[in-house]
Structure 1
Amino acid sequence: MPVGRITRTWGARNPRARRTEGSPIVPRVATSTAKLRERAAQAVRARSHRFRQRGAIAPIVALFMTIVVAALGALDVGNVFFARRSLQRTADLAALAAAQTMDDACTQPLATARANAAANGFDADAAGQTLAVVCGRWDTKANAAPSYFAAGNVDAPLNAVQVTAQRKVPYFFLGPARQMSATATAKATNLGAFTVGTSLAQLQNGLVNSLLNALLGANLSLSVASYESLANARVRMRDVMAAAGVGTIDQLLSMQVDAAQMAELMLTALSSTSIVDANLQTDIATLQAVAQGGISNTVQFALGESAGGHGVFALNLADRQSALDATVSPLDALLVAAEIAKAGQPPIQLAAGLAIGGLGATLKVQIIEPPVLAIGEAGIDPATQQWRTQAHTAQVRLYLNVALGTLTLPVIGSVGMNLPLSLEAAPGTAWLQATHCASTKAGSTSTIGVQPGLASVCLGDPPTNLSASQPLSCTTPATLINVPNVVKVTANVALPAVVPQSSAATLTFDGVTPNDDDYQSANANAVGSVLANALSGATASLAQPSGLEVTLLGGLSLPLGLLDSMLLAALLPALDSLLSGIDPAIDPLLQLLGVQLGVATIHDLSLTCGAAQLVY
């Protein structure tokens, strides 16, 4: 075949080939060798890539195993977390249930806690599970933080339960089972509220108005029935707090108010309370009349009693917010406030006076120390060795001038006979000894101890200095008749007498208010006879030959023996009437003031069985 032909054929098949005249023909074998080299290089690169792929698998596997282990560990951690939450929930619910059944022997809380735990799927008798129940006291003042809980019943009454639940929680992948525990502390504070002596029993018509008008500087003319109905009304401390526009009990107790503001406060609280009261509208109308009665006494006082001053309410609680649901009487609170506003001031005249055994008497009242309304827990405070919750009566003085009638004397004519009488009642005290909360109010009880106070009586002229800071003096003989420049008849000596202090007593009230047992008296057999007994020697003393001293003035000359016999003939029957009527007349007034003589009446306002709450 000619060479030129071969050349054309190559060029035709491969246009990219370039050939010049005389160039040698490139054989096809050379091209095949280049391709082989290229393929060999590709194979080497492929093998190298496969080797690199096989080297990357190990880190991937290691990463995957790490993820698997972490996931399994997360399962164990999650299981432990949820087991702990479940255990804490068991302890919380058991503590709350146990606190609701608190008793000083700690028998009922133990059974209640175990039953509650079982109801929530925790068997305290199962292997690896325990439930420890401890009763004690929760007290932010006496016990250390953070739990403020002290075990034991030394400081009874108990008010808290601590429950510790334990169980073994297995790990699925991370090793052996783990011992786990959860502790919860719940408290339930049972509160009593009461006053000593305050009562509306057997009040003479108009006496309440006269007393409140004198204390408050008001102009009231309400019926005794209205006051008696109001005495049965109740408001919660949370109602009073809301009416005052404050957020805590501490803020409420630190408020400074006057008597008019106190009346408005009680009115607002009563208008918004949820406590059932069949006479609510009547009671609101009574309080409205008091609030709008022109109260002019502007003395400011604190709502809470403190070491430095008087207050309407005495609260000695570790957690004062516990008193939110305690109930009080608006009328009792108003009476206490009225006395605080007049404490330590000169005597005030009661316009209505007093009727004593058919005899008329003018009456002045002086408040030395006001009473207090107590709210709190039962038992003795170990830090002070004093009762946690105490109420005391008022300390008051009464100055009476009893009109014994008229006597016609020879030459002189008709003269009036009077008998000045002074009385001072020292405070009596009462304390909340124990409380017991049952499933019903009728089954719940408050036990209150009471100690009546002393009283001093003086048959004699009142001292010239009537300062509240001075002790009552009984040194000036009583002036029975005094006609200036004509005649003066006095007792020969002043006749002091003491009403002895009765022994302490214990009274038990149920949890239902209002009902018939709200008022109970210690030494009730003394009612109606205390002052009469104390003054019983006065008649005999005055009947003695030297019992009376008659002074004739202006040159008069009369047989003194005749005058003595005439005076005694008129005086002794009047004294008998006085002695028979003085206790029934004075006792209700003193009770209204929160004072009693030889006897102490407790007005039980409420027993509030505390709702359990977790505190730690």
Structure 2
Amino acid sequence: MQKQRPKYARPHHAQRGVATIFSIIMIILVLLPCLAITTDTGRIYFEKRSLQKNADLAALETALLYCRGVIDEDALGDLGVDTIDTLKSDRGNFNGNLDDLTATVSNSGYSVTVILDYKINTSLFGRILKPEDDKIELSASATAKACEPTALISIRSSIATVDEGIINSVLGGLLGTTLNLTVGDWQSLLDTNINLLSYFDALASEIGVTAGAYDTLLTTDVSLSEILDVSADVLQADGASNATVSALQSLLSDIPLGIPNIQLGEILAIQTDATETSVDVDLGVMQLIEGSIQLANRESGIVADVGIPLGIIDATVRAKITEPAQTGIGNPNLAEMNPYGSNGIFAQTSQVRTFISLDLPIVGSVLNSLDALLSAPLISEVSNIVNSLLSLDLVGLVGDILCLVSCVEEKDQIDIKILESPRVDIAINAGSGIARVKNADCDIDGTKTLDAEVSTSTVSVALGQFGSDTEDASNNVFSSDELVVEPIPIIDIGTIHVRKTCALLFCSYSYRLGAGWTSDKSLADRDDFAGGGIGLKLDTTILGDGPENLPSFENNPDDTYLPDVKEDIENSYQAFSADDPVASLSSTLTGIELEFYEPTNGNLLGGVLNLVGNVANSLVSSLDAIITTALSPILDPVVNSLLDTLGVNLANAEVGAALTCENDKVRLTN
């Protein structure tokens, strides 16, 4: 019998239809709130962005109008939605309901702050259910500043005349190549300025950096060739002379391959977050070139062989930059808050390590004037001490009267020798001079002043012998290891073997020569430094001067001229005085120390000689005068020519400055 299906049973497909409808309804109920939240969130974010944009525009324009005197300070507080130019309806910058917008304007100096408050509906969907829905208030604030000052400070070494031989040699040596620019080429570069704003924009385009991103540009690696090439293009576009452009192109063609890239931020000390205002200044082309070459030298590790004409032979001069020169640019208002911090404005000369080696007959000939001291009491006293310690005796002191018929006597005899042509090695670590902006004042009547301070760093001078030969000494000077200074041997206390033969009171002397004898003392066998020796060395550190205030730079043509940053600053340079030990080595060399060599037979002669105070002091005094007489006329032109070219010679340094009190740029400060 067939079983019947219950009448109340429904087909499965009918149940599935109900579940689908229910699922769709649930999805709609979930999506509608999500859509409402997303829409309202996006709308509020858009309104906030639009309000902030209008606050920025209002602050920028109001600050600029206030700076230019269009709006006075008393009227700033009365400004509102209808009176702020950029918010006016005819400008069309604000697209919302002006009735719901309020504006508050305040200032601090030339900084203007605009606060905008704007009421909008809490929710668009909420208004469907509740037309009188409450409103929320959005707020945006912006501060802009105009008429900011810009200061530039520069430090240079005064070069009276351009010597293309020295400049080509020094700068070419730093690059490890030969430069062939003429006097006219260098002079044209010295006389030409370049606008940094134009230069930075062109360089940014050349190396693919976003225009205006100056912090990025200053920390981006760039080649020396690109620096010079862009400089030539910018100067040519600005109408510079053909001589200047040609000089740069000539210099560019001489740049060797393999020079490492550099970062301009290490030679241009520009404040962080620099704006167009900060870099819209003029800089000497020669400063840019020298600083770039010096920085490239430091990065490359090249030790420059510098040819400086001395009129004498056997002179080696080498140099290595340890810190390139810098020029400072920035806002003095920021610098005043912390002159030694990241916003400080300072300029410094380069730091250079110099090696000079002289192997000159002229030195020996001057030192031979010590021969006159051999018969002086101080040398006699030294001889007596040596004879006593070594158990020696001068042949002949026994007394000829004992030789009535004949006698032969042999003794080792002291032979004091002045070395004729010693090698003199000199190492100079010349620290930099730093000029720093302390404060700047701009008065309403147009008077402006800028105060700076100048300090010099530590300088070390070493004189002696730094290695077995010149090359070894040079490698030791420029290595990272501490320099070992050995004394220059000046007096060799040696011995010779003397035979005295007497017959009937008539005596003759002969000197050992190999297996035989000779009557010529100069040919005799000699035991060098058997009795020790005397040498000299100098290893001194001279502290630089602490900060010294300079006279204020002022914009008074009858006093010290303080130009705008886009004007020629040549007339602003003023000299400052510093106790510079490098300017003349004659005073520095008077600090030489006397060193005593130990005898080769190992007794304690050196220690005993050090105890003979009068002898040592007299000898040092005599050597001081002679060495300085011999070396200063040679070293001074070498050192001064080299350091002048590198801008290190602090004794001749000059500091220049420029100050623009109010520029036509405006920027947001928050």
- 1:299 paired to 2:260: yes
Name which of 289, 293, 298 aligns with 1:338: 293
Deviations 1:295-353 (CA, angstroms, capped at 9, x unpaired): 3342112222xxxxxx3322223343433412222221221111222216656243423
> How far apart are the structure 2 equivalents of 1:382 and 1:569?
51
Name which of 499, 510, 515 aligns with 2:542: 499
Secondary structure of residue in 1 paired with 2:642? helix
Higher mean C-alpha deviation, range 399-408 or range 362-371: 399-408
Deviations 1:538-591 (CA, angstroms, capped at 9, x unpaired): 4xx56xxx779999xxxxxxxxxxxxx9xx999965632532564454234224
- 1:458 paired to 2:462: yes
Identity of aligned residues (%): 19
> How far apart are the structure 1 equivalents of 2:533 and 2:355?
18
Shift of 1:535: 1.6
Secondary structure of residue in 1 paired with 2:440? strand
Query: In 2, are the aligned partners of 1:451 and 1:600 still within 8 Å (CA)?
Result: no
Residues 204-243 of structure 1: pairs in structure 2 closer than 5 A: 204-243=163-202
Shift of 1:242: 3.4
Query: In 2, are the aligned partners of 1:347 and 1:364 still within 8 Å (CA)?
Result: no
Residues 169-184 of structure 1: pairs in structure 2 closer than 5 A: none
- 1:520 paired to 2:479: no
Q: What amino acid is the match of 1:433?
A: K
Residues 151-550 of structure 1: pairs in structure 2 closer than 5 A: 160-162=110-112, 185-197=144-156, 200-201=159-160, 204-244=163-203, 245=205, 246=209, 247-248=211-212, 249-273=214-238, 280-304=241-265, 311-343=266-298, 348-353=303-308, 355=310, 361-378=315-332, 379-380=335-336, 385=341, 388-406=344-362, 407=364, 416-436=421-441, 444-462=448-466, 464=473, 466=476, 470=480, 473-478=483-488, 492-507=535-550, 508-509=552-553, 510-511=562-563, 513-523=567-577, 529-538=583-592
Query: In 2, are the aligned partners of 1:94 and 1:113 still within 8 Å (CA)?
Result: no
Query: In 1, are the aligned partners of 2:573 and 2:654 still within 8 Å (CA)?
Result: yes
Shift of 1:452: 0.9
Secondary structure of residue in 2 paired with 1:448? strand
Give the TM-score normalised by the residue count of structure 2: 0.55
Secondary structure of residue in 2 paired with 1:466? helix
**Residue 614 to residue 371, structure 1, CA distance change in 2 (3 Å):** closer
Query: In 1, are the aligned partners of 2:463 and 2:538 still within 8 Å (CA)?
Result: yes
Shift of 1:400: 0.6
Aligned residues: 449
> How far apart are the structure 2 equivalents of 1:383 and 1:364?
35
> How far apart are the structure 1 equivalents of 2:418 and 2:143?
88
RMSD of aligned C-alpha atoms?
A: 5.0
Query: In 2, are the aligned partners of 1:193 and 1:606 still within 8 Å (CA)?
Result: yes
> How far apart are the structure 1 equivalents of 2:261 and 2:536?
42
Give the TM-score normalised by the residue count of structure 1: 0.59
Deviations 1:5-38 (CA, angstroms, capped at 9, x unpaired): xxxxxxxxxxxxxxxxxxxxxxxxxxxxxxxxxx
**Larger Cα-atom Rg:** 1
Query: In 1, are the aligned partners of 2:590 and 2:624 still within 8 Å (CA)?
Result: no
Name which of 64, 80, 95 aligns with 1:96: 64
Secondary structure of residue in 2 paired with 1:432? strand
Deviations 1:348-374 (CA, angstroms, capped at 9, x unpaired): 243423539x88732110222333333
Q: What amino acid is the match of 1:375?
A: I
> How far apart are the structure 1 equivalents of 2:153 and 2:290?
14
Deviations 1:502-537 (CA, angstroms, capped at 9, x unpaired): 131233441154354443333257598553322223
Secondary structure of residue in 1 paired with 2:179? coil
**Residue 199 to residue 603, structure 1, CA distance change in 2 (3 Å):** farther
> How far apart are the structure 2 equivalents of 1:361 and 1:183?
66
> How far apart are the structure 1 equivalents of 2:56 and 2:350?
51
Secondary structure of residue in 1 paired with 2:329? strand
Partner of 1:134 in structure 2?
107
What are the ranges of 5 or more consecutive residues in structure 1 without an aligned counterpart? 1-86, 102-108, 123-129, 137-159, 167-180, 305-310, 552-564
Partner of 2:130 in structure 1?
none
> How far apart are the structure 1 equivalents of 2:491 and 2:229?
48
**Residue 459 to residue 450, structure 1, CA distance change in 2 (3 Å):** same
